Each structure stands twice: as C-alpha cells, then as structure tokens.
Amino acid sequence: MCLAIPMRIEAVDGFNARCAAKGVERDVSLFLLQDEGVAVGDYVMVHVGYAIQRVARADAEASWALFDEILATEPPPDGGGG
C-alpha cells in the first residue's frame, strides 16, 4: 500500500488521468497536483491512485527498474512459505 510508483500520463479528463507504467494502465486522480499544470506526456509519482508529485522521465525509468526487481523477488500474496 505504501509503495508509490511513477507513471506516465496518457490522457487527461479534468482531474482524472489515464496513466501507464510498464504496460499497466490505471486511472489516477490529479487532484493533489491541480496547481502544477501536469499534462499528457508528463511523469508523476502515484500513491493509492493519486498523483502526489511530478517526476523527471529518467527518474521514473530508474524506479521502474527497481520495481521490476521487487516484483521478481516478491512471493505471491499469502506466500512466503511457513
């Protein structure tokens, strides 16, 4: 739940945006960035469905690489053996 991920804005409709990261698309609220004038093509840090800050593209891509590693090592929910 705490994990925030950077996403690219693909489409904007009012405060609602369609965002993508690594082929996954999500609806994201831009309500917390309403003073920032973010637009299609910008990258934003997304936490629980809300964009909380802008990010530069290079930084977004670096975080995706880390995210890949986490997903690769993470056991499925309820997993972890025992």
Partner 1 sequence: MRRVTAGATWLARIRALDLPERLRIMNVCGGHERSIAQAGLRTVLPEEIELIPGPGCPVCVCPEEAIYHAIHLSLDEGVILVAFGDMLRVPVNVAKGEVRSLEEARGLGGDVRPIASPTEARVIAAAEPERTVVFFAAGFETTTAPVAALVAEGLPKNLLLLTACRRTWPAVALLLESGEAGFDGLVAPGHVATVMGPEEWSFVAERFCIPVAVAGFTPESLLAAFASVVRQHLDGHPHLTNCYPEVVRPGGNRAAQQMLAATFDVVDAPWRGIGTLPASGYRLKGRYADHDAALRFPAATEQARARAGAMPAGCGCAEVVLGRLTPTACALYGHPCTPRAPVGPCMVSDEGACRIWWSSGKRG
Closest CA to 51 of 15, 2, 77, 13: 15
Q: Are 10 and 25 in contact (CB under 8 A)?
A: yes
Instruction: State the amino acid at position 48 in one-letter form.
Output: V
* Complete DSSP assignment for 21-49: ETTEEEEEE-GGGTTTT--TT-EEEEETT
| Binds partner 1 by CB under 8 A, chosen from 11, 22, 40, 69 | 69
| Binds partner 1 by CB under 8 A, chosen from 8, 12, 15, 21 | 15
Q: Give the shortest CB-22-to-partner 1 separation in angstroms.
A: 16
Interacting positions 19-58 with partner 1 (CB under 8 A)? 27, 29, 31-36, 45, 47-50, 52-53, 55-56
Binding site for partner 1 (CB under 8 A): 1-4, 15, 27, 29, 31-36, 45, 47-50, 52-53, 55-56, 59, 62-63, 65-66, 69-70, 73-75, 78-82
